[in-house]
Homo-oligomer: A and B are copies of this chain.
């Protein structure tokens, strides 16, 4: 079980969008060029994020994406779920029902104990992702990346945004 790399791309792109001047758009083409990844495929990841309502798009020249909410209101979980879906990582098929010496409908009362444990772990994972917003990420990056590097990247992007 491994997350698809669209998740990674979506996270990096949202991180970049969070650093943009308010109201400006950045196109898929520029984002793909910036990260060195295939433009057409990245487009699909951004579509998912867009459909989840985290970013909004505009068409035409100087079009692209921008965050539709403050960076502090967008969590890692939002982005991950936008790409991967909200379904739980563990799918209980209730194979208990097939046990020959049990009456039909045995599992109706209460979810399987195994599923409960797995779902609890899933909840812990999601809670951990929900605890970090794009604003938090921005702060982390501020200490990670030297100021001159950050400025160089910002300038590179500023030259290309709409």
Contact = CB atoms under 8 A, between A and B. Distances in A.
Interface of A: 1-5, 7-9, 11-12, 15, 33-37, 76, 84, 87-93, 95-102, 106, 110, 113-114, 116-118, 120-122, 124-129, 132, 137, 140-141, 144, 149, 152-153, 155-156
Contact of A114 (B12, B87, B101, B127): B12
Counting every copy of the chain, the complex holds 2
- SS class of chain A's interface: helix, strand, loop or mixed? helix
A92 B11 CA distance: 11
Nearest to A83: B1
A16 to B, nearest CB: 10
A121 to B, nearest CB: 4
**A-B pairs, 3 with minimum CB distance:** A36-B98, A121-B128, A125-B125
B76 A12 contact: no
Contacts of A137: 113-114, 117
26 contacts: A1-B1, A1-B84, A1-B89, A2-B88, A5-B93, A8-B90, A8-B93, A8-B95, A8-B114, A9-B95, A11-B114, A12-B96, A34-B99, A35-B95, A36-B98, A101-B149, A101-B152, A101-B156, A113-B141, A116-B140, A117-B129, A117-B132, A117-B140, A118-B129, A121-B129, A125-B128
A144 B101 contact: no
Given A128-B124, A140-B113, A37 B102 contact: no
Given A8-B91, A113-B144, 5 more contacts: A36-B99, A101-B152, A102-B153, A113-B137, A124-B128
